[in-house]
């Protein structure tokens, strides 16, 4: 067994977390303007409020539109989006169904 792989030892969850935690200095914060938000809303057909099968986070849609690295990017939307199906509020982490 490889002693350097953090998942080999369940007693060391902090080692596994280091693999998935990006330091704040390396995080890219992207401001989402109205035009980008409207375009992103048009690419979804439902959200977790109206579709139990929703399994993709809205920020994946934003990643596609902006071309940003999903492992290092966090989004700040100027307002919450709206689901085109049920009109529920959609945030960066809301689960959606793509169009």
- Residue 1 resides in a domain: no
Q: How many domains does the chain have?
A: 1
24-63 pLDDT, tens per residue?
Answer: 777 899 999 999 999 999 999 999 999 999 999 999 999 9
Average pLDDT, the chain: 86
- Residue 2 resides in a domain: no
67/92 Cα distance (integer angstroms): 15
- Residue 15 resides in a domain: no
- Residue 19 resides in a domain: no
Q: What pLDDT is attached to residue 27?
A: 86
- Residue 16 resides in a domain: no
- Residue 81 resides in a domain: yes
Structural domain including 51 reads 26-98
- Residue 3 resides in a domain: no
- Residue 12 resides in a domain: no
Report if pTM > 0.85: no
58/91 Cα distance (integer angstroms): 7
Q: What pLDDT is attached to residue 20?
A: 61
């Amino acid at each position: 067994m490889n002693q350097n792989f953090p998942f080999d030892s369940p007693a060391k969850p902090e080692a596994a977390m280091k693999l998935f935690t990006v330091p704040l200095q390396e995080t890219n914060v992207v401001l989402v303007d109205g035009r980008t938000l409207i375009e992103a809303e048009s690419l979804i057909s439902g959200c977790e409020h109206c579709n139990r099968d929703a399994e993709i986070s809205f920020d994946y849609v934003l990643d596609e539109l902006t071309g940003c690295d999903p492992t290092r990017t966090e989004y700040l939307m100027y307002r919450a989006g709206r689901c085109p199906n049920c009109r529920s509020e959609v945030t960066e982490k809301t689960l959606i169904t793509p169009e």
